[in-house]
Amino acid sequence: MSEFLYDDLSKRQRRFVDALASICSNGEATRNELLEVCERTGIYTVPPAWIVQDSRRKVSRGVYAIPECVQISQTDDAPVVAASVAAPATVAAVPALDLAGSAVMGMTGGDRSSLIPARVSTYVPWGHFSSIEKILKARIFYPIFVTGLSGNGKTTMIEQTCAKLKRPCYRVNITKQTDEDDLLGGFRLIDGNTVWCDGPAVKAMEDDRGGVLLLDEIDLASFNIMCLQPVLEGKGVYLKKIGRWVTPKPGFTVLATANTKGKGSDDGRFIGTNVLNEAFLDRFPVTLEQEYAGRATEKKILKKAMAAVNVDDSDFAEHLVKWAEIIRKSFAEGAVDEIISTRRLVDICKAYSIFDDKMTAINMAIARFDDDTKEGFLNLYTKVDGDAPVEAEAPVDWNAIDADARVDLAVPYDDKTDAKAAGCKWDGDRKVWYTTAAAIASNPSVFEVWNPQAPADIECPF
């Protein structure tokens, strides 16, 4: 294989071989490994023809010889990082590494084999899905700010749009500490060498497939987010630390999600959110307000969520949606301080599949609320779902109550003779039968059928 030399490769081919070297140290690679590097780096969309269509490189079915990968480690002429500028005095020039799979993937939503999100079979397109799809299909630079209460599917909507269009999504979860080094790139210590690593914003700009930079929870950002000002203008950005100008490729755009509109949270529900710079916000030409899904759509979401965990209970889905809808209306009117999100409803469905008990699933999902709110939500659900078991109240110890305490009774008209015989009295002003705690304690079976209430703060006349 001496006819294949690293020095003979084009610049693009070298970049691909550089990225492939980490998994092809023996000079051979499978088609799946080639595809993995394609998806991870975006240098090619499919395994390149100069490898897979060259009969001289074929070792066996689906295995190809790429001796250039071995030659990288054997030559002193490997490409250096930021070769166009002098490295800092304390930093030696080192081999360039394609860190899309480590530095960038680690910052954009965790470990996955591709920056193109996986299609979720249970996802139900709704809300602004079609609008975002149209914008991404246009392949023009058009930043979007998506705002709405938590748990209503903002981030999932964007990721699933990218999945449908096969667009790489560079998701960055913003925090107060997120800065220029995290977003645009910086020097990293790799195997004892100081190496420049592009940040997710730069990677998204240079992705040939039309990278989508997703800034998740952007209203948690500090003033450091202003480093993205030139990026949000779509003109490119200058990496001053290495003296490189980055021009965005066609299709690149930016989407941001937030629970507020960048003006902070007055009610304290979204603690940590900040007031964003007006000049920064003004660079988003579109703001999409995402509400919770309507009843029919949300029911469809829950039924698919149930199907994914082998549960089929359309009535439960209907009751959950109606329950959540009432709570949300109460929240909007200021009657309650908590809300039930679509995400929490999906969590209830998952818990139901595990414990096979509706009330257990609901109890677990709302346990984070204070006791009064939790009790109110549970009582509301039992009214929405007439078949839901009502938690039995602990029996009253009538002997522990003052003997002369008045106890009201729910005596039907037909039982008034029996009530008189049991010594009960009629309160004409309040139109209710009553007795004493001592009477009930002496013969509870007689009075239990009339649902004795806890003693009222009314003096008993006998």
Distance CA 432, CA 461 (A): 14
pLDDT at 270: 67
HEC sequence for the chain? CCCCCHHHCCHHHHHHHHHHHHHCCCCEEEHHHHHHHHHHHCCCCCCCHHHHCCHHHEEECCEEECCHHHHHHHCCCCCECCCCCCCCCCCCCCECCCCHHHHHHHHCCCCCCCCCCCCCCCCCCCCCHHHHHHHHHHCCCCCEEEECCCCCCHHHHHHHHHHHHCCCEEEEECCCCCCHHHHCEEEEEECCEEEEEECHHHHHHHCCCCCEEEEECHHHCCHHHHHHHHHHCCCCEEECCCCEEECCCCCCEEEEEECCCCECCCCCCCCCCCECCHHHHCCCCEEEECCCCCHHHHHHHHHHHHHHCCCCCHHHHHHHHHHHHHHHHHHHCCCCCCCCCHHHHHHHHHHHHHHCCHHHHHHHHCCCCCHHHHHHHHHHHHHHCCCCCCCCCCCCCHHHCCCCCEEEECCCHHHHHHHHHCCCEEECCCCEEEEEHHHHHHCHHHHHHHCCCCCCCCCCCC
pLDDT at 213: 97
pLDDT at 108: 44
Token code pair at residue 181: 């080094």
Distance CA 272, CA 314 (A): 38
Q: Where are the beta strands (DSSP E) in 174-277?
A: 185-190, 193-198, 212-216, 237-239, 244-246, 253-258
Distance CA 169, CA 299 (A): 28
| 80 and 196 Cβ atoms separated by less than 8 Å | no
Distance CA 94, CA 97 (A): 9
Distance CA 289, CA 260 (A): 10
Beta bridge partners of 145: 256, 287
Distance CA 221, CA 133 (A): 26
| 162 and 116 Cβ atoms separated by less than 8 Å | yes
Q: What is the pLDDT of residues 204-250, one digit of tens each?
A: 999 999 999 999 999 999 999 999 999 999 989 999 999 999 999 99
Per-residue pLDDT tens, the chain, 462 aa: give them.
Answer: 557 888 888 888 888 888 888 777 678 888 888 888 887 888 888 889 889 888 888 888 888 888 888 876 444 444 433 333 334 434 444 344 444 444 444 444 444 457 999 999 889 999 999 999 999 999 999 999 999 988 989 999 999 999 999 999 999 999 999 999 999 999 998 888 899 999 999 999 999 999 999 999 999 999 999 999 999 999 899 999 999 999 999 999 999 999 989 887 665 566 677 889 899 999 999 999 999 999 999 999 999 999 999 999 999 999 999 999 999 999 888 888 889 999 999 999 999 999 999 999 999 999 999 988 999 999 999 999 987 665 555 677 888 888 888 998 888 878 888 889 999 999 888 888 899 989 998 988 888 888 887 665 555 544
Q: What angle do CA 206, 228, 143 make, to 5 degrees?
A: 75
Distance CA 455, CA 445 (A): 18
